[in-house]
Amino acid sequence: MCAAVYILSTVTGYVLTSALLLKCPALLHRRKRERFLSRHISHRGGAGENLENTMAAFRHAVDLGTDMLELDCHLTKDEQVVVSHDANLKRVCGVSANISDLAYAELPPYLCKLGVTFERDCFCEGGEDKRIPLLRDVFDAFPNTPINIDVKVNNDTLIKKVSELVVKYDREDLTVWGNSRNQIVKKCYKENPDIPVLFSFPRVLQLLGLFYTGLLPFVPLKEQFLEIPMPSLITKLKDPNSLTRSQRFMAWLADTLLMRKALFQHLTARGIQVYIWVLNDEKDFQRAFDLGATGATRRDVFLLPSKVLTSRPTAHHGPHLCVAVLPL
């Protein structure tokens, strides 16, 4: 009887403490400094309106008022950091060659027409700008625009050079970097811990495990950005008739587990921004913000609702006061 009472009181105490700290994480963790807040993030510069990852795309997005540019980086044979999503140029340039095997001067131009990722049966035709840009050119052109860098390959030289460029252009407060692979994120953080990192895929899974076991409020987190897809979008990206029942179920399950308002609110209270990608349907866009997301990644900039541009969040710099009422 005594053992049962002890176990019950321990479990009750754990649940109540976890619930309190989930609601008021400032009681245990110091809130991370939010160097910038982005409501709208242009995926590859807005790949639905201009050829992806080009200076024309970035300039168009910034001119229309985007809060952040999202781009990808690779390293050429002559060790130039270039902005490109694919390691092989077949899809975007029509040439089956790896960026790492070519000097920057040897890189071919983009094709005139590219398929838009995360959008079914959608293509973008570009203008005169078909050049693969250097990362330093992007930094030079947009010194005050936050930039989200996906370091595409596990290459120590690439990571070091990206860090050097960020420091050279004094962008440590305007940059977030990382990759879905945990090893790359670890190397990024080790190379320069002053540049905020995002959650890798394994860390997202760990985050969910901590959240659903009630351990998350007790665990310190080095990441400052959670960037995740909205799993329900799979039904829009593929032909609905081609999806099996099990695929639909897995999409529903992933969406149910990942799109949690309590999780987003807890992370936000700790100064961790939550970005959902890649959204272009207005209902999905609104759902992301209703769930408490900080921002959303989009392929179209022109379609950005004016109400989003006029309701930008404000960075939090002061102490966070929390009052929670827990059921007894």
Query: Among candidates 168, 166, 167, which has minimal Cα distance to 147?
Result: 166
In this structure, what token pair is assigned to residue 65?
A: 């008022």
Residue-wise pLDDT tens digits, 104-125 = 999 999 876 555 565 655 655 6
Provide the whole-model pTM.
0.88
Query: Among candidates 226, 137, 136, which has minimal Cα distance to 178?
Result: 226
Q: Give the pLDDT confidence score for residue 242 in this predicted structure.
A: 78
Q: Give the pLDDT confidence score for residue 298 in this predicted structure.
A: 78
160 within 8 A of 110, measured Cβ to Cβ = no
What lies within 8 Å, CB to CB, of 62 at 6+ separation is 69, 142, 145
Residue-wise pLDDT tens digits, 265-286 = 999 999 999 999 988 788 898 9
| H/E element, 158 | helix 156-168
Residue-wise pLDDT tens digits, 299-317 = 666 555 554 544 555 555 4
Extended beta strands in 113-269, E state:
113-115, 123-125, 147-151, 175-178, 225-229
CA 71 – CA 182 distance, rounded (Å) = 19
pLDDT digits (tens), the chain, 328 positions:
688 877 888 899 999 999 999 999 999 999 999 999 999 999 998 766 778 899 999 999 999 999 999 999 999 999 999 999 999 999 989 999 999 999 999 999 987 655 556 565 565 566 678 899 999 999 999 999 999 999 999 999 999 999 999 999 999 999 999 999 999 999 999 999 999 999 999 999 999 999 999 999 999 999 999 999 999 887 776 666 778 889 889 999 999 999 999 999 999 999 999 999 988 788 898 999 999 999 998 766 655 555 454 455 555 544 443 433 333 3
Q: Give the pLDDT confidence score for residue 226 in this predicted structure.
A: 98
Contacts 24+ apart (CB under 8 A), 175-178: 175/146, 175/147, 175/148, 175/149, 176/146, 176/147, 176/148, 176/149, 176/224, 176/225, 177/148, 177/149, 177/150, 177/151, 178/149, 178/150, 178/151, 178/223, 178/225
Burial of 77 (0-12, 13-18, 19+ CB in 10 A): middle
Is the C-alpha dihedral spanning 261, 293, 259, 21 positive or negative?
Answer: negative
If you classify domain 39-301 with CATH, what class do you get?
alpha beta
Q: What is the DSSP letter of 186?
A: H
116 within 8 A of 49, measured Cβ to Cβ = no
296 within 8 A of 135, measured Cβ to Cβ = no
Q: Give the pLDDT confidence score for residue 310 in this predicted structure.
A: 47
Q: Give the pLDDT confidence score for residue 247 in this predicted structure.
A: 87
In this structure, what token pair is assigned to residue 105?
A: 């001067």
